[in-house]
Structure 1
Amino acid sequence: MTIVHIVIAKFKSEVTEEVKQKALDDVVALKHTIPEIQSASAGKTFTDRSKGFEYGWVVEVETKEHLSIYAKHPDHLDFVNKYRPLMDDLIAVDYEK
């Protein structure tokens, strides 16, 4: 089994493209410091169907327990504390595949 964690973000209008890209780079880099992460990817949408949600990332872990470990990991919490205030909104979806 694999747990897929998807986040779709809408940054505040004043946030620069450089900061947005740094957020994507930082979330993908978590796979190097959080052993439970099997894979991580992130990017900017190229479609006009996203209703203002321009950026998204996917993190895959093996189990729901690993998702909980990832969520509570200090490096993930640092990421959230740094970037969540820069977002107007986000959507998170978790599912098993």
Structure 2
Amino acid sequence: MTLIHIVLFKFRQDVSEEHKNKFVTELKKLKSLSCVKGGRLIVGGPSLTDPIERSKGFQIALMSYHEDREALAEYQASDEHHRVTSTYMFPFKEDLIRFDFEVDEEDEYMCHFPQLLV
């Protein structure tokens, strides 16, 4: 089974681009955690949605793959995740959306990737 974890981040208006870039850099380091399936963690932004208003002001997105709910819980509880979110996100956020779902069995084949060297 694969569980996909998606988070959209919106920072306050007074947060600098430098800070947001540092947050993205630190988020990307989380792909090395063993609870991230195959090192599959993607961070992107800004939104290319047209019209941009449909993005509802969210500036950065994260999508990560996990083997199961236990692996996602391990990711969320990790010291590394806590350091990144408590240092670079929670004190500066305006809003965030989190959405987690299990991949249907018939779609699981799309979640098999060659092992990455991280």
Gaps of 5+ in 2: 104-118
The root-mean-square deviation of aligned C-alpha atoms, in Å, is 1.0
What's the counterpart of residue 96 of structure 1?
102
| Runs (4+) off by over 2 Å | none
Aligned length, in residue pairs: 96
- 1:17-63 Cα offsets, whole Å, 9 max, x none, are 1211221121111112x211121011111220201112111111111
Once residues 63 and 86 of structure 1 are traced to their aligned partners in structure 2, the CA distance between those partners, rounded to angstroms, is: 30
| Shift in Å, 1:11 | 0.4
Match of 1:74 among 71, 79, 83: 79
1:29 aligns with 2:29: yes
Write 1 or 2 for the structure with the bigger share of strand. Answer: 1
Q: Is 1:24–1:57's contact at 8 Å kept on the other side of the alignment?
A: no
Gaps of 5+ in 1: none
TM-score, length-normalised on structure 2?
0.77
Structure 2 counterpart SS, 1:58: strand
* Letter of the 2:16 counterpart: T
| Shift in Å, 1:94 | 0.3
Question: Rg bigger for which structure?
Answer: 2
Write 1 or 2 for the structure with the bigger share of helix. Answer: 2
What's the counterpart of residue 43 of structure 2?
42
Once residues 59 and 28 of structure 1 are traced to their aligned partners in structure 2, the CA distance between those partners, rounded to angstroms, is: 10
Structure 2 counterpart SS, 1:7: strand
Once residues 96 and 21 of structure 1 are traced to their aligned partners in structure 2, the CA distance between those partners, rounded to angstroms, is: 30
